[in-house]
Amino acid sequence: MTALAQRIAREFGSPAVVIDLDRVERNIARVQAACAAAGVANRPHIKTHKIPEIAKMQRDAGASGITCQKIGEAEVMSEAGLDDILISYNLIGEDKMGRLAKVMERATVTVAADNPTVVAGLPRAAELSGRTLHVVVECDTGRKRAGVETPAEAIALAKDIASRPGLSFAGFMLYPPEDAMEITQKFLDQATAGVREAGLEPRIVSTGGTPNVANLGRIKGATEHRAGTYVFNDRMMLACGAATMDDLALTVVGTIVSRAAPDRGIVDTGSKTLTSDTGGLEGHGLILEHPEAKIAKFAEEHGFLDLTKCNDRPKVGDVVRIVPNHVCVVVNMVDRLVATRGDEIVGELAVAARGKIA
């Protein structure tokens, strides 16, 4: 593998972000099988790869549709032919409704909402497209991010959605903390009972998260799951037990550029490549050739290596492979991934939805 990394550095430049398509396919198949075993649909989140070709691999393996976080991602994916998209985000503003309407002309679209201001804006997209917009109520069962905090709010928002022209109440979207299955079940049961009393049916109950793949089947009433990171995995997924070393499908190829002192060095992957997302872990990545080396801190293009615990220390010019802490943000730094299969380079994939923040 080091020979391959050296070849990649030579042919594509260092640093380079590299995926192994054999591993990607295995990861896709494994989570698809886990969803099937639990009797839920698989709606992978494309925020991790942002590559239409990989979304199509997920679809062809059995995914029922995809999840996007921003409308810019949904634009790219729907233009590439992905035709069933959940945008798991509160969309606000006249400009976004115009863009959403265009996506709705190419794909079946469901969006999330957690407040009446968002819901009040959505009919405009239905009106502009002449199509029904499906809306799930985002519910928060402990993550304290977006999402209504009580079943009562969820029920009220469901009724609000159902009362609006062009909108269809589609169900509930959850992203439960991994240790909050009971709380989540209780929330969902109450919210479901409440909307049924109002004559509404949650035909979608969407759960999320790669670590929650291990919890599939534990939420009764769940109909689909949204996992993203599993397609590549990272050091966070290793740390929480959601992936093994064999499931790591993405590495960053970097080069040691300085060894100014015995106990330290510099690798050419700084915060503009690996990003400062720590994922709560010590150090900024795992160097496969030197696991005892710590990427202790960053400048923009410098990774500061602490080699004090390293017996076999890298020298200037050595090419290394790094598993990033958080893979989703690393992919978003580059325009292209180098694609490999085992020891072969098979091409490049454009990260077509990179940087689609709006």
> Which residues of this protein are in contact with a copy of itself, per CB under 8 A?
9-16, 47, 69-70, 72, 89-90, 92-96, 99, 114-115, 117-118, 140, 144-149, 255, 257-261, 264, 266, 268-269, 271-273, 275-278, 298-302, 304, 315-317, 328-329, 332-335, 355, 357-358
Q: CB of residue 62 vs a copy of itself: minimum separation in angstroms? A: 26
Measured from the CB atom, is 56 or 302 closer to a copy of itself? 302
Q: How many beta carbons lie within 10 A of that of residue 11, not counting itself?
A: 10
Q: Give strand pairing partners of 304.
A: 266, 297
Q: CB of residue 37 vs a copy of itself: minimum separation in angstroms? A: 28
**Contact (Cβ atoms closer than 8 angstroms) between residue 343 and residue 1:** yes
Measured from the CB atom, is 43 or 284 closer to a copy of itself? 284
Q: Is 280 exposed, middle or buried (0-12, 13-18, 19+ CB in 10 A)?
A: exposed
Measured from the CB atom, is 55 or 267 closer to a copy of itself? 267
* Cα separation, 289 vs 339, whole angstroms: 20
**Contact (Cβ atoms closer than 8 angstroms) between residue 321 and residue 332:** no
Measured from the CB atom, is 187 or 298 closer to a copy of itself? 298
Q: CB of residue 327 vs a copy of itself: minimum separation in angstroms? A: 11
Q: CB of residue 175 vs a copy of itself: minimum separation in angstroms? A: 9
Measured from the CB atom, is 95 or 348 closer to a copy of itself? 95
**Contact (Cβ atoms closer than 8 angstroms) between residue 272 and residue 254:** no
**Contact (Cβ atoms closer than 8 angstroms) between residue 174 and residue 186:** no
Q: CB of residue 10 vs a copy of itself: minimum separation in angstroms? A: 5
β-strand 108-113 against 133-139: which pairing, if any? parallel
